[in-house]
């Protein structure tokens, strides 16, 4: 099956979240921003290949002047699934433009409802009112499904009930994610802040009916889904296992002896980085393919090659 593809429009972000690696989903040292023409060329090829699920992300995608033309291009494909991932700080300002793009889902990153804690986690000041205002406006004005993505650590674990209440009140969904390990900020940070969600899931299952939902193509981590007062709560916990490819077996990040520290997510959605690289792994930039200097035929061949990793996924952790 063909996975979803995330399009990271830019390496720029107006937040500096403490758990986020440099350049966010761009994975490695950023080289040169790809042109609009290159993005559109690659997207046309994605459409020809048969991709049906697209996510626009960053950095912060609403900082990029590529946002509008790229979104218009993807919308023209009439995809089954079209999502925007944003930190929410520019959501209210761009609400009209976003509404025209007809996203099926808009995912907003928010880890706390405490302003002081928000400022500390994001390494910024004065953004908290904008994100709360953007969420409330989006929930009222947009036809897209609105959801909050909350990265759960020891610092905010106790805030989950308040976040659930906030989402219920504003008629939006919530996804809880456990902390991913990255070489930056590193092992010490992960060990000090990681919070297992296994106990939370057990408690939720005692109160609400649950089901397991999988990602596009069944790659990545299956999630627990709960329906609470007509709102959806998903829990993405690496305790639930993930998908690896044959390419993972000899990787230094591959979990061994029962340890999951190095690689929790394995192989999942395909990523097109802001400098036009295809990437399949957060820990292994060497598995990526640089499309920036390729012609159409070479790009197609590269997609075929990298999709073999997905077709050769071999077991659940």
Q: What confidence category does residue 23 fall into, taking pLDDT thresholds of 50, 70 and 90?
A: low
pLDDT in tens, 121-149: 999 999 999 999 999 999 999 999 999 99
pTM: 0.92
pLDDT beyond 60 at 113:
yes
pLDDT beyond 50 at 51:
yes
pLDDT beyond 90 at 228:
yes
Of 24-33, 97-106, 257-266, the range with the lowest mean pLDDT is 257-266
What's the rounded mean pLDDT across residues 221-240?
91
Q: What is the pLDDT of residue 317?
A: 44
Helix (H, G, I), strand (E, B) or coil at 120: helix
Of 57-66, 202-211, 216-225, 294-303, the range with the lowest mean pLDDT is 216-225
pLDDT in tens, 268-302: 789 999 999 998 887 777 778 999 999 999 999 99
Domains along the sequence of the chain with CATH: 5-316 (3.20.20.70)
Residues 70, 50: Cα–Cα separation, whole Å: 17
What's the rounded mean pLDDT across residues 84-112?
96
């Amino acid at each position: 099956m063909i996975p979803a593809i995330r399009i990271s429009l830019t390496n720029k972000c107006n937040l500096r979240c403490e758990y986020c690696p440099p350049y966010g989903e761009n994975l490695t040292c950023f080289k040169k921003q790809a042109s609009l023409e290159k993005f559109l060329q690659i997207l046309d090829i994605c459409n020809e290949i048969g991709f049906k699920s697209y996510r626009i992300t960053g950095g912060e995608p609403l900082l990029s002047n590529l946002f509008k033309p790229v979104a218009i291009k993807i919308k023209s494909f009439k995809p089954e699934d079209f999502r925007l991932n944003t930190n929410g700080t520019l959501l209210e300002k761009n609400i009209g433009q976003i509404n025209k793009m007809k996203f099926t889902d808009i995912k907003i990153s928010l880890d706390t409802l405490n302003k002081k804690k928000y400022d500390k986690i994001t390494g910024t000041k004065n953004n908290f009112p904008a994100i709360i205002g953007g969420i409330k406006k989006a929930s009222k004005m947009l036809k897209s499904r609105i959801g909050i993505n909350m990265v759960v650590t020891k610092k905010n674990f106790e805030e989950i009930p308040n976040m659930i209440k906030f989402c219920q009140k504003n008629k939006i969904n919530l996804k809880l994610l456990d902390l991913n390990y990255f070489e930056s900020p590193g092992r010490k940070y992960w060990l000090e802040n990681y919070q297992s969600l296994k106990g939370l899931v057990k408690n939720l299952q005692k109160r609400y009916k649950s089901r397991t939902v999988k990602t596009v193509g069944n790659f990545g981590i299956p999630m627990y889904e709960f329906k609470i007062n007509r709102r959806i709560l998903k829990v993405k916990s690496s305790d639930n296992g993930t998908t690896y490819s044959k390419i993972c077996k000899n990787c230094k990040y591959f979990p061994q002896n029962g340890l999951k520290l190095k690689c929790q997510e394995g192989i999942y959605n395909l990523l097109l980085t802001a400098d036009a690289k295809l990437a399949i792994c957060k820990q292994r930039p060497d598995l990526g393919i640089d499309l920036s200097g390729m012609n159409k035929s070479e790009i197609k061949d590269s997609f075929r090659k990298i999709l073999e990793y997905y077709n050769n996924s071999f077991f659940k952790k």
